[in-house]
C-alpha cells in the first residue's frame, strides 16, 4: 500500500487541523501525540454525528429513500465544490477527475461502496429497522479490525485481541437473538469497512477524495432530481418548505461527518477507528429504543454489555500505553 501524507481540511466551524507529518506504515499512532489526539477528536465528531442520523432521516422520510440519496449526493457536491474553491483546491479536483489512474479508480470504487451504504441505511430507517441497522455498525468495527490485520499488517496486542473477541461475542449473541440472518446489518458493515480501508490508503485527503466521490455521481443525481421534480414526483418543493429545506441541508449533514471520518482514518490505526465506531451505533440504538419506541429486551442488554465492556477495556489499555 502507498504511504501518504495527510492534508486534512480546515473548515469554518469544524475541528481545526494542524499540519501533519507523513504517516507511519507500521503504526500511525506512534507518529505523535498531537496527531493521535486530533484523530480521536475527528473520530468522535464523525461518529457522534452519525449516531444522530436517524433523527434526520425520520424527519425526511416523506421522501422516498432514492430521492433522499440523490439529494445527499447533489447538495454534498455543491458544498464540497464551494469548499474546494475557497481553499484554492478546485484544480486538484479537476486534475483527479480528468486523469485516469489508480487514485481515480480507487475513488470510483469507494463511491459505489458509500452510495450503496447510504441507500440501504436510509431505507432501513424509513422502514423502522433502526436496531438492525445499528447492529450492522456494531459489526463494522470488527470487520475494520480484520481488514487492518489482513491488508495493512496491523498487529493487535493480547488485550486488544481479548477486546475484539469480547465485542465479537456480544455482536454474535445479538445476531442470534434476531432469529434470522442479518443480511441488512452485514451489508452495512462490510460496505463501510471496505470504504474506510480504501479511503485510508488512497492518495487523496479528506476534502479532495470526498469532492471527487460526490462529483462522480452528481450528474446522475442532478438528472434524477430535475426530471422527477418536473414530473411532480419528488417531495422536494412539492411537499412544503420545511421538508424542502431539510432536503437541501443534506449536503451539510452528509459531508461534514465524512470529512471528519476520513481525517480520523488517516491519523489512526484501523483497530482504533474500529472501536471509535461503536459511538455511532450506540447513539442509533438509544434513539431506536428511547425515541422510536423499539423494544429493549434482556438479551439485547446482555449483548450491548459485552460490547461496552470491550470498549472500556480497550480505552483503559490505550490510555495507559500512551502514558
Tens-place pLDDT, residues 229-284: 898 888 888 888 999 999 999 989 988 888 888 788 888 876 777 678 778 888 99
Distance from C-alpha of 243 to C-alpha of 18, rounded to nearest angstrom = 37
User: To the nearest whole percent, how much of the chain has pLDDT over 70?
Assistant: 88
Give the CA diameter of the chain: 62
Confidence of residue 26 (pLDDT cuts 50, 70, 90): very low
Listed by start position, the domains of the chain span: 33-322
Mean pLDDT of 197-220: 89
Q: pLDDT at position 113, please?
A: 95
243: number of CA atoms within 13 Å, CB side? 17
Per-residue confidence at 207, pLDDT binned at 50, 70, 90?
A: confident
pLDDT beyond 70 at 6: no
Give the separation between CA 97 and CA 101, rounded to whole angstroms: 10
Contact 254, 72 (CB under 8 A): yes
Res. 182 pLDDT band, cuts 50 70 90: confident
Q: Residues 112-132: what's their mean pLDDT?
A: 92
Query: Which of 13-17, 97-101, 214-218, 254-258 is predicted with the least confidence, judged by mean pLDDT?
Result: 13-17
Give a three-class secondary structure readout of the chain.
Answer: CCCCCCCCCCCCCCCCCCCCCCCCCCCHHHCCHHHHHHHHHHHHHHHHHHHCHHHHHHHCCCCCHHHHHHHHHHHHHHHHHHHHHHCCCHHHHHHHHHCCCHHHHHHHHHHHHHHHHHHHHHHHHHCCCHHHHHHHHHHHHHHHHHHHHHHHCCCCCHHHHHHHHHHHHHHHHHHHHHCCCCHHHHHHHHHHHHHHHHHHHCCCCHHHHHHHHHHHHHHHHHHHHHHHHHCCCCCCCCCCHHHHHHHHCHHHHHHHHHHHHHHHHCCCCHHHHHHHCCHHHHHHHHHHHHCCCCCCCHHHHHHHHHHHHHHHHHHHHHHHHHC
Higher model confidence: residue 2 or residue 121? 121
**Arithmetic mean of pLDDT, 141-156:** 83
pLDDT at 92: 93
Q: What pLDDT shows up at residue 32?
A: 62
Q: Give the cell for residue 124.
A: 432501513
Amino acid at each position: 500500500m502507498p504511504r501518504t501524507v495527510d492534508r486534512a481540511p480546515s473548515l469554518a466551524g469544524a475541528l481545526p487541523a494542524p499540519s501533519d507529518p507523513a504517516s507511519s506504515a507500521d503504526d500511525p499512532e506512534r507518529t505523535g501525540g498531537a496527531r493521535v489526539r486530533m484523530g480521536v477528536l475527528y473520530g468522535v465528531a464523525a461518529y457522534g454525528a452519525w449516531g444522530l442520523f436517524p433523527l434526520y432521516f425520520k424527519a425526511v422520510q416523506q421522501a422516498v429513500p432514492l430521492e433522499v440519496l440523490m439529494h445527499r449526493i447533489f447538495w454534498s457536491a455543491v458544498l464540497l465544490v464551494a469548499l474546494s474553491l475557497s481553499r484554492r483546491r478546485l484544480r486538484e479536483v479537476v486534475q483527479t477527475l480528468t486523469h485516469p489512474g489508480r487514485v481515480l479508480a480507487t475513488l470510483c470504487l469507494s463511491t459505489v461502496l458509500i452510495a450503496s451504504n447510504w441507500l440501504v441505511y436510509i431505507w432501513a430507517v424509513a422502514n423502522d429497522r433502526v436496531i438492525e441497522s445499528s447492529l450492522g455498525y456494531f459489526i463494522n468495527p470488527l470487520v475494520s479490525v480484520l481488514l487492518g490485520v489482513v491488508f495493512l499488517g496491523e498487529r493487535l496486542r493480547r488485550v486488544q485481541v481479548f477486546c475484539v473477541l469480547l465485542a465479537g461475542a456480544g455482536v454474535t449473541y445479538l445476531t442470534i437473538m434476531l432469529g434470522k440472518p442479518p443480511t441488512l446489518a452485514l451489508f452495512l458493515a462490510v460496505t463501510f469497512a471496505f470504504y474506510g480501508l480504501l479511503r485510508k490508503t488512497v492518495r487523496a485527503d479528506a476534502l479532495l477524495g470526498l469532492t471527487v466521490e460526490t462529483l462522480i455521481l452528481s450528474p446522475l443525481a442532478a438528472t434524477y432530481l430535475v426530471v422527477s421534480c418536473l414530473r411532480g414526483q419528488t417531495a422536494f418543493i412539492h411537499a412544503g418548505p420545511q421538508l424542502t429545506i431539510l432536503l437541501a441541508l443534506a449536503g451539510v449533514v452528509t459531508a461534514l461527518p465524512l470529512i471528519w471520518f476520513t481525517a480520523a482514518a488517516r491519523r489512526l490505526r484501523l483497530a482504533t477507528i474500529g472501536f471509535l465506531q461503536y459511538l455511532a451505533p450506540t447513539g442509533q440504538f438509544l434513539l431506536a429504543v428511547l425515541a422510536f419506541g423499539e423494544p429493549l429486551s434482556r438479551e439485547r442488554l446482555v449483548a450491548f454489555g459485552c460490547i461496552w465492556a470491550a470498549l472500556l477495556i480497550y480505552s483503559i489499555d490505550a490510555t495507559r500505553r500512551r502514558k
